[in-house]
Amino acid sequence: MNQGRLTVVGLGPGDPRWLTPATAEALSAATDLVGYGPYLARAPEVPDQRRHASDNRVEVERARLALELAAQGRRVAVVSGGDPGVFAMAAAVFEALETGDPAWRKLEVRVEPGVTAMLAAAARVGAPLGGDFCALSLSDNLKPWDVIEARLRAALGADFVLALYNPISSTRPWQLRTALTIAAKIRGPNTPTIFARAVGRPDERIAVLDLADADPSTADMATLVIIGASTTRRIEREAGHAPYIYTPRFYGAGR
């Protein structure tokens, strides 16, 4: 096997300043970029670089293509949004590696960390992830809803702050409403809840709500939902300014 290599990178949630220098280096050193078309469009142009754009739902085929190109000696960057290891391409690459051509195991596969949507959304409102938290994808494309609901109930029962990725889409219209209903019953209607849409992009929209007022129809595929724990707090501000939301580092009575 020759000198091919594969790096999996994430561009961050939107703002180009959230793309790390290590990711920028990997992108500019790559001979080939592989990824979902809109993500490739966000990567800075590099002369003579080949771009292999694909549809959003073909992750493992995309990963196989990337491994094949690396096996041919190309320097390949697989491009995700956010962080590549959070509900994204890094796991797909290892799924393909484990089940694919044994020769691929000789390749050097690197994963560069990125800024995941949950962190960008949290930073916009304060520090809601300041205590223990749990990230959950509401997509039942790759796992059954029963598993998602069991994990959701367990995380709510354990009083984690919840970050919900993939909350809703045209093919998954009811899951978010069900999750919010379960959460309101377990955690109470006044729990601080954040709908953070397109964070770091020109069409960003952040809403800080009580859980009872969270309307699933205002969310879409570009939304990250954060549901506070019992300890998550609001700091009210003057009219016209959203409250700060934070979860203290201590739990219960004392600091």
Ligand X SMILES: C[S@@+](CC[C@H](N)C(=O)[O-])C[C@H]1O[C@@H](n2cnc3c(N)ncnc32)[C@H](O)[C@@H]1O
- Sites of contact with ligand X (CB under 6 A): 10, 13-14, 80-83, 86-88, 116-117, 121, 165-167, 196-201, 221-224
Nearer to ligand X, 116 or 247 (CB): 116
H or E element that contains 134: strand 133-137
Residue 11 · residue 39 · CB < 8 Å:
yes
Residue 210 to residue 86: CA distance in whole angstroms: 27
By Cβ distance, which residue is nearest to ligand X?
82
Nearest distance from residue 198's CB to ligand X, in Å? 5
Phi-psi region of 236 (alpha: psi -120 to 50; beta: other; left: phi over 0): beta
Residue 109 to residue 5: CA distance in whole angstroms: 6
Nearer to ligand X, 33 or 71 (CB): 33
Nearer to ligand X, 71 or 164 (CB): 164
Alpha helices in 100-244 (DSSP H): 117-125, 145-157, 175-187
Nearest distance from residue 251's CB to ligand X, in Å? 27
What single letter denotes the amino acid at residue 125?
Answer: V
Nearest distance from residue 74's CB to ligand X, in Å? 24
Nearest distance from residue 21's CB to ligand X, in Å? 18
Pick from 201, 252, 210, 205: nearest CA to 234: 210
Nearer to ligand X, 32 or 59 (CB): 59
Nearer to ligand X, 65 or 138 (CB): 138
Taking the CB of residue 102, how many other CB atoms lie within 10 A of it?
A: 7
Nearer to ligand X, 4 or 228 (CB): 228
**251 strand-pairing partners:** none
Residue 51 to residue 29: CA distance in whole angstroms: 13
Residue 134 · residue 162 · CB < 8 Å:
yes
